[in-house]
Structure 1
Amino acid sequence: MHASDHLSVAPPLVELGGLSDLSKSGRTIHATASPLNETYAVFAASLLDNLPGKQRHASPDDQPIYFVSSEALPLSERRLFIGDTSIIFAALQNLVKTAKDNGLDLLQDEGSQRVIRKLALDYVNFSKECWIHITQTDLKPRQVPGDHYRILYTCLSLFAILYVPEYGLENAPVGDDLVEWLNVHFIEPSTEEGDHLSSLERPWEDETFWPYLTRATLRGLSKAVTFFLGTLSVHPSENLPRLSQSIIPLLNSQPKLQAYETEREFAYASHRWKEKVKALRIELDDVPVSDRHDDFEDWWDRFSDIVGILEGRGEVVQKACEELGADWKEVCVAWAVFVDTRLRRQDLPDIVAQVLEDMPPDPTNLEDMVHAALFTGDPLKALDHAAKLDPWLGAHLADIMEPLALVERDANEESGLTIRDFYVLSYAQYLHADPALWRITVAYMFSCGKIGARTADEVLLHVPLRLYSSGSSITSESNTDGVPEKGDLAGIVKDVNATCHEYQREGIRRTVCRIAAQTFVQKKEFGLALSYCSSAEDWAGLGRVVDRILQEYIHAAGPEQYTRYVFGIAPSLQAFRTNPGAQGVFIHRLMFAVRYAEFHQRLANGDFQDAAWDLVTMFQDDIAPKSWWGVLLCDAVQLLQYEPTPLFSYVSACVLLHRLDEVCTRTMQGSGEDYLRILEMKLQAGGRHDTQQQLQLARLALAKYFARCTMVGTGGTLINRRVGSAV
């Protein structure tokens, strides 16, 4: 295995040379893949844990679990590149969708072709800008070497030249474009060589002089060639100064396609120019053999090579490139410029194939392999090498190739994916290694048909809400400086909802809202929890949130904190009442929570009369759940004992008595769990246990209250008898 096939952990699980000791200890290294992304849990465990049906039991001596990823999380410069180029990707998706909706053929529509070319060039420019930025800044640590973006730049620009030419120029000669590409990305001869030669009085005496002229001629660098040919005016040879002056105007007048309005004019000019070169060849051949050498070089042979290149002699071009140590690219480009000046893009692969037989590409250099595949017209091979070089490159090349019909659009029968979708999803999987890039990740996934949509659904369901809300070190896409930010849980959920709306994933949106509601409950932000339950139309979940609020009152919070919790959700009550989808039983429970909070607030404010009225109306309006009756009756005790003015009317007191009778009767019949469960929980939380004693206190308070009513002349015979029996 290569070093790149290994994942390293620090500190190491096993020290160097310690494998035998690990084996002797009866342990081995386990690795478990995550179903969510390209991460693994790695730990040392007993060999017995590998036995079928054997469950692993943790012990205090266990080593820690390491979480490693086969993909490096994008750092700041990589995030910037990913984010900026995703905008171009989205623009292309929008173009394809619009064309499909309007029934346009992208291959035949001029406007669409121009837009595709513009977007392809945007990729080229962004990779160039990123390369320049990385090389000009002392950015550490770096995700990839700065040269990596140069490689992306060369591959993308070559792709744009060969496969996305200007509209109407698809069949135009390609030589000028290729030589410009070669000169921009692979600079030869070097500036240092030219500076060195220009500093010499007699540069032809330097061993690099003629190789420099030959290389500059192959590259079409006429200014550099003519400058140094001008220095030969003082050469001691009788013929070389004259010949050099003859070739200078030829170099300066070599026809360029861009200078002519039609290809026919260019071809005619090239033919006339070649005739002048032939005349120079005749003149060169007339040079006596005795004057073909100087004290340093066989200048005639060198000069003849340059003339042979201008003549377009293929064997001379290849021989010159081999002697200069140039590769196959230089031969192919020179061929299109000098040998076959009308060479078209569709004819280029035949020439390249012949050259590659003698000068194959470097199989260890992915950049060279991508170039070779593009030159030979093999998009599939280019995608394979591009994806190995960088999954970003493979995905975005494939994304442009499909609308250009460079790759098959039909899905593979086994995988169900098109070629384009395969590479885009592979890139999205790479992005998924960083949870903070989930927005961009799902954008790529949703562009890949049903399989991509289902994959994106899983990503949306697993957006790390807890990590964001707890101030994780994971950063958002906008945080390109790599500084940890404390996320806004509500903001993240809002973004997820917006994404679900954008891609019409209503079921996923509701599930995410339910997950968010549970998270907000744990944070005791009950208002937001109810809001997300409503958004998910999860009425049962809404009921559970209300129950949780009521449990806060029973177990920990007490009346004051409980009131604050409920008043945070009270404004939602009216909205729920008007929601036609809301289920009444759960809204009824919310109404009780609000009314019960209002009751306790009035108690706290000393508004006992209204508190008594709230207590009775909760019974009269059947708002209070039966499981809470015992609690409400116990709450009534202090109000029944209030002096000097009775707080309850006779009728209100009768309501309380009837509810107390029902609780006692049902309890005696074995249904006490339905009526006293909450009271028992409340008493246990307060360190008490006897519910019957509390009910007796409530009955005694009622008896005394009716006795007071009798003394002031209210009540009746039946009530008096019931009070007497109660006492």
Structure 2
Amino acid sequence: MMLRDRLNVVPPLVGAGCADELANAGKTLFGTQSPLNDSIAVAVTSIRSPQSVRRAGSTDADDQPVYFASADMVPSSERRLFISDTSIIYAAFQNLTETASAKGPEWLQSEEGSRMVRKLAMDYVNFTKECWIHASQSSDPSEEELQFSGDHYRCLYTCFSLFTVLYVPEYGFEDAPVGDELMEWLNVHFIEPSTEEGDHLSGLEHPWQDENFWPYLIRVTLRGLSKAATFFFGVLLQHPCDDLQRLSQEIIPLLNSQPRLQDFSAERDFSYASRRWKDKVKTLRIELDRVPEVDRNDGFDNWWDRFSDIVSILEGRGPVVQKICEDLGADWKEVSAAWGVFTDARLRRQDLPDVVAQVLEDMPPDPTNLEDMIYAALFSGDPSKALLHAAQLDPWLAAHLADIMEALSLIERDVNEDSGLTIREYYVLSYAQYLHSDPALWRLTVAYMCSSGRIGLHSADEILIRVPLRLQDKHRIGERDKSVESARTRGLSALLKDVNETCFEYRREDVRRVVCRMAAQTFVQEQEYGLALSYCSSAEDWAGLGRVVDRVLEEYIANGPEQFTRYVADIAPSLQSYRTQPGAHGIFIYRLMFAVRYAEFHQRMLNQEYQDAARDLITMFKEEIVPKSWWGVLLSDSIELLRYSTALLFSHSGAYILLQKLEEVFMRAAQGSGEDYLCMLMRKSNASREKEALDRLKLTRLTLAKYFARCTVIGTGGRPIADQNSSATF
């Protein structure tokens, strides 16, 4: 996309012409692209194992450095502000094109559509103008150095302004003469002659004696600057030559009365006035030709030749105008604009390319000046070529021009068979790739990609998936600062919220679920299990939810009941919503239910609420929410309650349930399935073999036997064995 043909690293990894020496030494260049942005890591490595640079801690024998290069410079704060502000206009234009799609392609040619397109195009023009002014005035040494100069933003402003003049006219003026608008554009963006020059001449008592007087007067006439021209022709009324005084007196009303299209309500009236005005110019020519040869020089210059050049401009003599421009150091743009003002006052936009082609044959644009090449392409009616040069000047310019050009059918909408992209999509994605150099601009990168067809959507998916990855870079050395951890978690949650909203906005549901699954993994690492469960639920990743619960249960094995109950407190509030959520897989919800109930059991044990703890233990087994791998742990937990001396905490039926589960564990172990029932108990008791875990359960069996004996003794007294809801009275 935006990758240049060559990236230079300093100092060079391999000298010019030394590639063979590198190969003979068994070395090669290895590069890999960052998943975060468009940067590339480059290093010299062995031909036999180019993957070695990927392995952490691995080094070549020569300990070669790794270079990090990028095809694009990361936008500075000033450039980032320009990018983000203009993206608002871009988003508005996308909404406009969506509206046009709903109302039909011809809607953009309607008065309402045309006015809205022009309004947004002018927004680009006005904003680039503001950026140019700001960049030009930024001279505070304490401020950050501008990444792009004021002149660069001037180029963007001037190019976009010319584009609107030629291709986005006001509604109803599409077929109107364009000469006056072109001259106005030229005068606004390429000021000639300078104001300082005019001030200097106006301060002289006899300005016609200055060598720059006539070139200045010719230039202001050529540019249609009638006020400046009439002022200096008024000065010539003091000239000692009577003929020049008389002719100056006659030309002043001609300059002031030259017809302008905006002064007429109908083009027919403008054309008629232009012809009448040209007749008056012809009369002036006749009078000029009558001046005797001997009176045509005032001792300082041949005023007649100079005056004749001015009359030739007013007459619209194309070849003479072109020669005058060459003599003044003007270029093809000035000739083309003057052509539309003086040579052919009815010159239309669709006819301009023919005129420009004729001018460019003798006055070609500067091929080393991208700005001039863009102007030439726009004047010549070749938008595609203009985009080609604009992309070299600034990818921003090419992308936003192409966006409007496609809407106005100025460029083809067909997909290129090789790239799979339209012209617009190519330039917009190129700009998005430039934005990708700055990870902080991921939202805008995605916005531009999602507006660029199927390939753009897939590219945006890759960006969205990789946004959270950079947040997993966490230092775990030393004591953890809880305030920093909390702030980081909040920041991560806010970012993931933005990613989710972006996925919803562009209907990237599959990507959103992938991101939620990745977020859940990140929060598990952060031990933020409540958030992890939330993102698993959002992704409808029920297997992932089960894995999160397993991690919470692991906290009990690793850190004991106190830490375990604190972590479960974060996930317990969500249990009810998960149980009623459509599509939730029961097996994983039961696992969550077990974790919550088991944490409640241990909380009661910690609070010495032994009767309720015993009831919880039996209820978990009766409701069959205890995973088989945890049977051994819960049976081992029952020992303390069975040994409780003050009262019998289990009913006879409750104790019998414990016995049933215990015997099933022993039976399954004898059949070779002990791992399914004893794995968690082995880990909790640090047992290396099943036999050690079974020995632990033998203690449970013995304790149960004693418990039944106590029940029997109490039962001998004539009182029946109470239900488990009783306080163990038999």
TM-score (norm 2): 0.90
Q: Does 1:315 align with 2:316?
A: no
Deviation at 1:441, TM superposition (A): 1.7
| Aligned residue in 1 for 2:621 | 619
Deviation at 1:503, TM superposition (A): 2.2
Aligned counterparts of 1:500 and 1:185: Cα–Cα separation in 2: 43
Deviation at 1:259, TM superposition (A): 0.7
Q: Does 1:42 align with 2:37?
A: no
Deviation at 1:499, TM superposition (A): 2.0
Q: Does 1:358 align with 2:362?
A: yes
Deviation at 1:64, TM superposition (A): 4.6
User: Relative to structure 2, which stretch is displaced further, 173-182 or 380-389?
Assistant: 380-389
User: Relative to structure 2, which stretch is displaced further, 191-200 or 343-352?
Assistant: 191-200
| Aligned residue in 1 for 2:566 | 564
Q: Does 1:369 align with 2:373?
A: yes
| Aligned residue in 2 for 1:452 | 456
> 1:108-257 to 2 correspondence within 5 Å?
108-138=109-139, 139-257=143-261
CA gap 1:202/1:490 in 2 versus in 1, 3 angstroms: same
CA gap 1:92/1:552 in 2 versus in 1, 3 angstroms: same
CA gap 1:127/1:115 in 2 versus in 1, 3 angstroms: same
Quick one: which amino acid aligns to residue 674 of structure 2? Answer: G
| Aligned residue in 1 for 2:513 | 510
Aligned counterparts of 1:671 and 1:60: Cα–Cα separation in 2: 50
Aligned counterparts of 2:372 and 2:514: Cα–Cα separation in 1: 48
CA gap 1:37/1:304 in 2 versus in 1, 3 angstroms: same
Aligned counterparts of 2:5 and 2:510: Cα–Cα separation in 1: 39
Aligned 8 A contact 1:213 1:225 in 2: yes
Deviation at 1:671, TM superposition (A): 1.3
CA gap 1:77/1:611 in 2 versus in 1, 3 angstroms: same
CA gap 1:4/1:90 in 2 versus in 1, 3 angstroms: closer
Gaps of 5+ in 2: 476-486, 722-730
Deviation at 1:665, TM superposition (A): 2.1
| Aligned residue in 2 for 1:406 | 410
Aligned 8 A contact 2:687 2:693 in 1: no
Deviation at 1:485, TM superposition (A): 10
Within the candidate set 500, 505, 516, 2:503 is matched to 500
CA gap 1:553/1:503 in 2 versus in 1, 3 angstroms: same
Tell me the C-alpha RMSD between the 2 structures: 3.0
| Aligned residue in 1 for 2:483 | none
Aligned counterparts of 1:510 and 1:537: Cα–Cα separation in 2: 8
Q: Deviations 1:158-207 (Å, cap 9, x if unpaired)? A: 11011111111111110110011001111110112112212222211211
Aligned 8 A contact 1:41 1:68 in 2: yes
Q: Deviations 1:362-410 (Å, cap 9, x if unpaired)? A: 1111110110000010111111111111111111111111121111222
> 1:417-428 to 2 correspondence within 5 Å?
417-428=421-432
Gaps of 5+ in 1: 472-483, 720-727
Within the candidate set 680, 683, 686, 1:681 is matched to 683
Aligned counterparts of 1:226 and 1:715: Cα–Cα separation in 2: 131
Helix, strand or coil for the counterpart of 1:383?
helix
Aligned 8 A contact 1:627 1:677 in 2: yes
| Aligned residue in 2 for 1:527 | 530
| Aligned residue in 2 for 1:540 | 543
User: Relative to structure 2, which stretch is displaced further, 62-71 or 663-672?
Assistant: 62-71
Helix, strand or coil for the counterpart of 1:142?
coil
Quick one: which amino acid aligns to residue 575 of structure 1? Answer: S
Helix, strand or coil for the counterpart of 1:713?
helix
Aligned 8 A contact 1:631 1:679 in 2: yes
Aligned counterparts of 1:385 and 1:169: Cα–Cα separation in 2: 28
| Aligned residue in 1 for 2:439 | 435
Aligned counterparts of 1:56 and 1:679: Cα–Cα separation in 2: 37
| Aligned residue in 1 for 2:670 | 668
Aligned 8 A contact 1:520 1:526 in 2: yes
CA gap 1:6/1:408 in 2 versus in 1, 3 angstroms: closer
Aligned 8 A contact 1:650 1:715 in 2: no
Aligned counterparts of 2:330 and 2:489: Cα–Cα separation in 1: 54
Deviation at 1:35, TM superposition (A): 7.0
Deviation at 1:118, TM superposition (A): 0.9
Among the aligned pairs, what percent are the same residue? 66
CA gap 1:673/1:84 in 2 versus in 1, 3 angstroms: same
CA gap 1:144/1:486 in 2 versus in 1, 3 angstroms: farther
Helix, strand or coil for the counterpart of 1:97?
helix
Aligned counterparts of 1:493 and 1:544: Cα–Cα separation in 2: 21
Q: How many residues in Structure 1 have an aligned counterpart in Structure 2?
A: 700
CA gap 1:420/1:183 in 2 versus in 1, 3 angstroms: same
CA gap 1:63/1:712 in 2 versus in 1, 3 angstroms: farther
Quick one: which amino acid aligns to residue 403 of structure 2? Answer: D
Aligned counterparts of 1:603 and 1:541: Cα–Cα separation in 2: 30
| Aligned residue in 2 for 1:659 | 661
Aligned counterparts of 1:26 and 1:108: Cα–Cα separation in 2: 64
Aligned counterparts of 1:99 and 1:351: Cα–Cα separation in 2: 34
> 1:20-59 to 2 correspondence within 5 Å?
23=22, 27-34=27-34, 38-49=38-49, 58-59=58-59
Quick one: which amino acid aligns to residue 645 of structure 1? Answer: A
User: Relative to structure 2, which stretch is displaced further, 33-42 or 513-522?
Assistant: 33-42
Aligned 8 A contact 2:33 2:41 in 1: yes
Aligned 8 A contact 1:640 1:701 in 2: yes
TM-score (norm 1): 0.90
CA gap 1:188/1:255 in 2 versus in 1, 3 angstroms: same
Aligned counterparts of 1:508 and 1:236: Cα–Cα separation in 2: 84
Deviation at 1:470, TM superposition (A): 5.7
